[in-house]
Amino acid sequence: MKNDTDSQKLKLQLRAHYLQQQLSSRQLQQLQGLTANSNRHFFSAITAVAASTIFALGLYLFNFSTPDYSNISREIAYNHNSKMQMEVLSPALNDVKGHLNRLGFNLVSSSKLDSEKLHLIGGRYCNINGKIAAQMKLQHSETKKVYTFYQAKMPADIVDSFEEVEVLIDGVKVKLWREKGLLMGLAF
């Protein structure tokens, strides 16, 4: 029983001792400053995360609401600058059409091209936007300048919101338009 009373006295003394302990005013101010700083850092971090999330969401939505013509235009400009040999040399669209029979669509003449001045040299397969396409060379009868004309299926991601566009990439002017259900491109 003496152990129980001694134990209780010790507990009371320890309690009284620790209740008398206090922080100095300087220590209290430092502790409060640490709390305020950590709160400021926490709110700054939350604000930065929220701003980054809003920016990323806006960028994501912008990319999916605006068709990306730049990739298609870049591929067309690259193909034009590559000056690859034609697989079929013929001034007749039907001859080129007969040789490029794996396209999954029929080659068509475009009403946007001046058939009096631009004459077909030939055609070949190429790749636009990861899909098989037709690449044809046309020559201007007066200037002898060579144009590259492309036809492809309309990419599903831009079919509803496609607008005619003209851009300059690596010194190549690229025009894109939609005609007869196909994506048309002209590089010169």
User: What is the C-alpha separation between 127 and 183, in angstroms, rounded?
Assistant: 13
C-alpha 32, offset from chain centre: 48
pLDDT tens digits for range 74-83: 999 999 999 9
| Type of residue numbered 67 | P
What pLDDT, on a 0 to 100 scale, did the predictor assign at position 49? 53
The reported pLDDT for the residue numbered 58 is: 44
Of the two residues 4 and 61, the one the predictor is more confident about is 4
pLDDT at 174: 97
The single-letter DSSP state of residue 87 is S
Per-position b or e across 46-79, b if 16+ CB within 10 A of its CB = eeeeeeeeeeeeeeeeeeeeebebeebbbbbbeb
Contact 131, 107 (CB under 8 A): no
pLDDT tens digit sequence for 86-134 = 999 999 999 999 999 999 999 999 999 999 999 999 999 999 888 999 9
Residue 184 above 90 pLDDT?
A: yes
Residue 170: is its pLDDT beyond 50? yes
Compute the distance between CA of residue 57 and CA of residue 55 in angstroms, rounded to an integer.
5
Per-residue pLDDT tens over the stretch 36-76: 666 565 655 565 554 455 544 444 444 444 456 788 999 99
Give the separation between CA 107 and CA 152, rounded to whole angstroms: 9
Residue with tokens 């300059």: 168
Q: For the chain, what are the domain ranges?
A: 2-64, 67-187
- Model-level pTM greater than 0.85? no
Residue type at position 80: H
Report the Cα–Cα distance between both ends of the chain, in Å, rounded.
Answer: 106
Provide CATH code, domain 67-187: 3.40.1000
**What pLDDT, on a 0 to 100 scale, did the predictor assign at position 153?**
92
Q: What are phi and psi of 167, to 5 degrees?
A: -135, 160
- Full strand arrangement of the beta sheet holding 131-140: 88-89, 118-128, 131-140, 146-153, 182-187, 172-179, 165-169
Closest CA to 105 of 85, 86, 132: 132
Least trusted range by pLDDT, from 26-35, 134-143, 167-176? 26-35
pLDDT at 76: 93
